[in-house]
Amino acid sequence: MISFPNCKINLGLKIIERRSDGFHNIETIFYPLNLTDVLEIIKSPDGIFSFQTGGIKISGKTEDNLCKKAYDMLCKDLPISPVKIFLFKNIPIGAGLGGGSSDAAHTILLLNKLFDLKLSLEKMEDYARLLGSDCAFFIRNKPVFAYSKGDKFGEIKIKLKNYFYAIVKPEININTSDAYLNITPKPNKKSIIEITKLPIEKWKDELKNDFEETIFQQFPEIKIIKNKLYQKGAIYSAMSGSGSAVYGIFEKKPKIKNFFPNCFCQVGKL
């Protein structure tokens, strides 16, 4: 079985407070995009588990990969035999796009189909929450208002289908835990939900990502990318999650191929 784990962007990101468990309460909107990895899982004909990757190089041990963790987690509770997993990595790593979380969620979805586990969406979300704060989002894969650790969701109506996006990621990887170290949480003065009800032309002054202030100080080249996207005609531009990818929203399909040397660039329809 094959699936195509997609990425997401954050429309605004407010860091509200530090929690007693060491995490942070946040508010954001997760919006899915059509930039994808490729994930294949088949039952192992020789009864031996294997995990292989291609595309963008993934560092670290197999045991630490979220796809393997998802498989191990389900194996403890459910009748699952050894499988062979192949992951072709196309979504940039350390970009704030949720690629690893999406791979994990889609592993759960594929295993549910492959072994006819009959897990409900709610149960698969519960499993996904154990792997990462934004993993559960990718089970249903639709725009949501995310709060708490980013693992609880509320419905939201937001229509961006007539717009285009551009994603630009420089050769910088940002660890989410490190990104939080320099953050001073602040109460949210204005709801992100209310801001996104405004005309998109007004988002530039209202819809903020709290990570940008400190990340831009550490990596000014990321701020330059954001400014360049506005120069190319973006109606709205922001860093996604804790970075380092920056996206722009455009009325017309942008031409940015040669505008960002040494960067990963992707253009598509929202």
Q: How confident is the model at residue 247 (pLDDT cuts 50, 70, 90)?
A: very high
| pLDDT value, residue 21 | 85
Known active-site residue 205: no
Q: Average pLDDT of the chain? A: 94
Is the CB of residue 173 less than 8 Å from the CB of residue 244?
yes
Which of 121, 138, 155 marks a domain boundary? 155
Q: How confident is the model at residue 182 (pLDDT cuts 50, 70, 90)?
A: confident
Q: What is the CATH number of the domain that holds 177?
A: 3.30.70.890
Is residue 97 domain-shared with residue 50, that is, in the same domain?
yes
Which of 155, 184, 202 marks a domain boundary? 155
| pLDDT value, residue 58 | 92
Q: Indicate if the pLDDT at residue 23 is higher than 90.
A: no
Gap between the terminal Cα atoms of the chain:
26
Alpha-carbon dihedral 240, 221, 207, 26, rounded to 10 degrees: 50
Active-site entry in 37, 103, 134, 151: 134
| pLDDT value, residue 159 | 85
Q: Is 74 helix (H, G, I), strand (E, B) or coil?
A: helix
- Structure tokens of 19? 């929690």
Whole-number Å distance between alpha carbons of 151 and 132: 8
Summarize the confidence of residues 215-224 as an average pLDDT: 95
Is the CB of residue 116 less than 8 Å from the CB of residue 78?
no
Known active-site residue 8: yes
Is residue 58 domain-shared with residue 86, that is, in the same domain?
yes
Is residue 64 domain-shared with residue 178, that is, in the same domain?
no
Count the neighbouring beta carbons within 10 Å of the beta carbon of residue 46. 8
Q: Is 249 helix (H, G, I), strand (E, B) or coil?
A: strand
pTM of the model: 0.94
Alpha-carbon dihedral 243, 233, 227, 239, rounded to 10 degrees: -10
Is residue 139 domain-shared with residue 239, that is, in the same domain?
no
Q: Is 145 helix (H, G, I), strand (E, B) or coil?
A: strand
Is residue 44 domain-shared with residue 121, that is, in the same domain?
yes
Q: How confident is the model at residue 103 (pLDDT cuts 50, 70, 90)?
A: very high
Is residue 183 domain-shared with residue 91, that is, in the same domain?
no
Range of the domain at 192: 164-269
User: DSSP strand E in 6-109: where?
Assistant: 6-18, 24-36, 38-43, 50-55, 83-89
Q: Indicate if the pLDDT at residue 179 is higher than 90.
A: no
Which of 155, 176, 211 marks a domain boundary? 155
Whole-number Å distance between alpha carbons of 83 and 43: 4
Whole-number Å distance between alpha carbons of 195 and 211: 18
| pLDDT value, residue 208 | 95
Q: Indicate if the pLDDT at residue 251 is higher than 90.
A: yes
Summarize the confidence of residues 37-58 as an average pLDDT: 96
Our count of domains for the chain comes to 2
Q: What is the CATH number of the domain that holds 70?
A: 3.30.230.10
Whole-number Å distance between alpha carbons of 109 and 147: 23
Is residue 30 domain-shared with residue 125, that is, in the same domain?
yes
Is the CB of residue 121 less than 8 Å from the CB of residue 157?
no
